[in-house]
């Protein structure tokens, strides 16, 4: 049997090379192969013949690994890695295409800046920034996914609509709603990018999850690029300033907008083509920060419960808690995408639940105190938005916590947690769109 043992080992090593097949799958396939060999042996075949027949019955390995990849697309993070006959891989990583779109975005923002004479005169330019960048990202994906004409139109329509709405509203000078619109516009447009990203199939839950992953990875890459870019700009300034030829302000004025705009596309391209780098990073970040957040939030909840809540809250606190909930939601989503859905509940899931429940308890306390006082203070745009966002996030996290408890008890599959998040995505889009389109008229553009 020694010959067969080494043949099995070779076969095993070969199967393990497929990116979507992990060690435990190979174990399972090997157990199957051995069962088959034993049975064929018993039927009177010689050991090496039995091995050959068993391998043949297992099927063509390329087809098999593609089938695994289709089921475990989360392990590959993308359908793009699937180089099968029905899904061609993009040629040469498409970096030229990415570069063209990045340059276009960089130029567009510069032209817009000069036209608005920023920073001498600010006016409405700042609230439009994302409108000069994200259409290029949408265009990049529309081209990459080879959308047909109807879908191109559907990709462009939201951008036009939003541009009209945002710029026709007569904001009063220094109005709060204008600032809120400026903050929510990128979120609305990001969801508009989701349409071409998903190739128009916005109902597909798997594609939605891909988009969530894409968002998380894009964020990591963007932060890394921003850090590197910041160092580069600071050094350039420090080196050139003594010559008196250029000032730091000039460099920042010219390089920062274009660099930041171009980096949006470049980061997207990196996510698309260099999956493996971030694939290793997201789990590490989650492993590192989930327990830390769990400890911090549990501790803070205890402190809040023990101290007197009455006068301690000022109006800014709700904003802080919105940020906290966004961060916790980010942790949940990162944890979700870093996780192998077929694994049974583990320690990380428990830590995550502690973090979510801690945040919920804290938020419920703050919210209770706020709602009681908002009646006396009245609704301002800022307060309305902070409260609304808080509720939207609270419902999401409460649902996630409830499902996580049921998952830890073995009542539901992990799949249900993913489904909750992907079904909830339109709520976020709707909320951001409401703030951009409905809030300013409601508060008379103040």
Partner 1 sequence: MHIDKDLVAASSTPLVLSILAEGESYGYAILKRVRELSDGELHWTDGMLYPLLHRLSRLGYVTTEWRTPPEGRRRRYYAITDDGRAALAEQQRQWVTVARALGDVWRGSGGLLTALGEA
Q: Which residues bind partner 1 (CB under 8 A)?
A: 24-25, 27-29, 31-32, 34-36, 57-61, 63-64, 67-68, 70-72, 341-342, 410, 412-416
2 versus 60: smaller Cβ distance to partner 1: 60
Burial class (CB in 10 A: 0-12, 13-18, 19+), 170: exposed
The CB-of-200 to partner 1 minimum distance in angstroms stands at 24
**Residues in the chain, how many?**
446
The CB-of-33 to partner 1 minimum distance in angstroms stands at 9
How many Å from the N-terminal Cα to the C-terminal Cα in the chain? 83
Sign of CA dihedral 62, 65, 67, 69: negative
19 versus 291: smaller Cβ distance to partner 1: 19
The CB-of-432 to partner 1 minimum distance in angstroms stands at 31
The CB-of-48 to partner 1 minimum distance in angstroms stands at 19
Closest of 230, 248, 231, 232 to residue 240, by C-alpha: 248
227 versus 413: smaller Cβ distance to partner 1: 413
Neighbours of 215 (CB within 10 A): 17
User: Under 8 Å CB-to-CB from 398, ≥6 apart: which residues?
Assistant: 360
The CB-of-2 to partner 1 minimum distance in angstroms stands at 18
Q: Do the beta carbons of residue 398 and residue 360 sit within 8 Å?
A: yes
C-alpha to C-alpha distance for 427 and 311, rounded to whole angstroms: 33
57 versus 276: smaller Cβ distance to partner 1: 57
29 versus 400: smaller Cβ distance to partner 1: 29
18 versus 224: smaller Cβ distance to partner 1: 18
Q: Do the beta carbons of residue 107 and residue 262 sit within 8 Å?
A: no
72 versus 151: smaller Cβ distance to partner 1: 72
Sign of CA dihedral 82, 85, 90, 93: positive
86 versus 314: smaller Cβ distance to partner 1: 86
Place of tokens 């529309």: 142
The CB-of-72 to partner 1 minimum distance in angstroms stands at 7
16 versus 300: smaller Cβ distance to partner 1: 16
Write phi, then psi, for 5 (nearest 5 degrees). Answer: -55, -45
Q: Do the beta carbons of residue 101 and residue 140 sit within 8 Å?
A: yes
Closest of 68, 70, 71, 94 to residue 272, by C-alpha: 94
The CB-of-32 to partner 1 minimum distance in angstroms stands at 5
**Tokens for 182?**
């400026």
The CB-of-58 to partner 1 minimum distance in angstroms stands at 5
Q: Within the chain, what is the greatest distance between any pair of CA atoms?
A: 90
**Tokens for 431?**
């909320």
The CB-of-415 to partner 1 minimum distance in angstroms stands at 5
């Amino acid at each position: 049997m020694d010959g067969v043992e080494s043949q099995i080992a070779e076969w095993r090593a070969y199967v393990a090379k497929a990116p979507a097949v992990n060690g435990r799958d190979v174990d399972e396939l090997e157990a199957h192969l051995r069962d088959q060999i034993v049975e064929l042996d018993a039927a009177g075949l010689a050991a090496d013949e039995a091995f050959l027949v068993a391998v043949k019955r297992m099927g063509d390995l390329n087809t098999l690994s593609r089938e695994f990849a289709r089921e475990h697309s989360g392990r590959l993070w993308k359908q793009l890695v699937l180089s099968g006959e029905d899904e061609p891989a993009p040629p040469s990583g498409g970096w030229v295409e990415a570069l063209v779109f990045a340059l276009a975005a960089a130029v567009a923002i510069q032209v817009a800046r000069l036209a608005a004479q920023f920073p001498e005169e600010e006016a409405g330019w700042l609230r439009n920034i994302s409108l000069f960048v994200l259409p290029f990202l949408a265009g990049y994906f529309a081209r990459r996914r080879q959308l047909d004409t109807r879908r191109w139109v559907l990709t462009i329509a939201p951008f036009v609509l939003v541009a009209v709405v945002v710029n026709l509203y007569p904001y009063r000078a220094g109005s709060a709603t204008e600032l809120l619109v400026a903050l929510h516009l990128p979120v609305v447009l990001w969801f508009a990018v989701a349409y071409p990203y998903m190739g128009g199939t916005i109902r597909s839950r798997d594609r939605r999850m891909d988009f969530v992953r894409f968002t998380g990875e894009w964020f990591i890459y963007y932060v890394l690029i921003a850090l590197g870019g910041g160092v580069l700009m600071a050094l350039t300034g420090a080196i050139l300033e003594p010559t008196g030829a250029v000032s730091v302000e000039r460099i920042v004025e010219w390089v920062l907008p274009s660099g930041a705009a171009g980096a949006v596309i470049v980061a997207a391209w990196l996510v698309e083509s260099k999956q493996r780098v971030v694939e290793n990073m997201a789990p590490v970040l989650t492993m590192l920060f989930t327990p830390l957040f769990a400890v911090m939030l549990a501790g803070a909840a205890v402190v809040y419960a023990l101290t007197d809540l009455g006068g301690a809250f000022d109006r800014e606190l709700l904003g802080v808690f919105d940020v906290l909930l966004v961060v916790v939601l980010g942790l949940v989503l990162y944890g979700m995408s870093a996780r192998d859905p077929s694994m049974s509940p583990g320690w990380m899931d428990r830590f995550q639940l502690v973090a979510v429940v801690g945040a919920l308890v804290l938020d419920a306390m703050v919210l209770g105190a706020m709602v009681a006082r908002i009646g006396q203070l009245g609704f301002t745009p800022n307060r309305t938005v902070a409260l609304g966002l808080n509720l939207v996030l609270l419902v999401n996290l409460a649902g996630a916590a409830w499902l996580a408890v049921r998952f830890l008890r073995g009542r539901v599959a992990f799949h249900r947690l993913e489904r909750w998040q992907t079904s909830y995505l339109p709520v976020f889009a709707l909320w951001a769109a409401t703030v951009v389109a409905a809030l300013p008229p409601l508060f008379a553009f103040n």
